[in-house]
Amino acid sequence: MALRNLLSSLLLLGSLGACAVDDTSCPSVSGTYEPMYVPLTGNCGFIDSPNMLPFGEGSGSGSIKTLENRLNDDVVTEVVRKGCTVRVSQVVATKQGIVQSQIEGESLKVHNARELSGQVKYLRFNELGVACEGTYEAQIRKPTPMGIGY
C-alpha cells in the first residue's frame, strides 16, 4: 500500500514544480535524453537499460511531467527546471500501481544543450519493500542523429 502511495505522491508533485526564477542565459534543454548512471555508493550495482528522460522546451524555469504507458509497466517522469539546474524524478510502476524503481536527481547541472550531470538517488523495490538503494553519478546526454549520445 505504501508503494502505491509513493506513485500517487509523485503525481501530485507537479503543483510544487514551477519556479519563479528564470535564467534565460542558460542553454535550452529539450527533447529526450539518455542517462548513464555510475554507482558511487549503495548496493544496487550497475543500472541496466535506464529509461530515457524527456525534457520540455525552453531554457527558463518550469516543470513538465510525462507518463509513458508501456506493455508491462508505466514510467512517470517529472522534470523541474530552475535556471541552470534541473530536478528529475522518475518512477517505474506496474500496471497495478506497484512501484518497481525510483530515481531522484535534486540538482543536475545543465552544461550545454546536449549534456547534464549530477548525483541521483536510486531505489529498487520488491514485494517486501526497498530491495536496494544507491547514489549514482548521472551523465545525461541527448542522443546524436547517429544514435547513442556517448
pLDDT over threshold 70, residue 126: yes
Q: Which of 14-23, 64-73, 135-144 has the lowest mean pLDDT?
A: 14-23
**Confidence label for 145 from pLDDT (cuts 50, 70 and 90):** confident
Please name the residue that has the C-alpha cell 502505491. 4
Q: From residue 38, give the alpha-carbon distance in Å to each of 104, 122, 125.
A: 14, 11, 19
What is residue 139's predicted lDDT score, i.e. its pLDDT?
A: 97
Map residue 128 onto helix, strand or coil: coil
Is the full-model pTM beyond 0.85?
Answer: no
Domain ranges in the chain are 2-141
- Model confidence at 21: pLDDT above 50: no
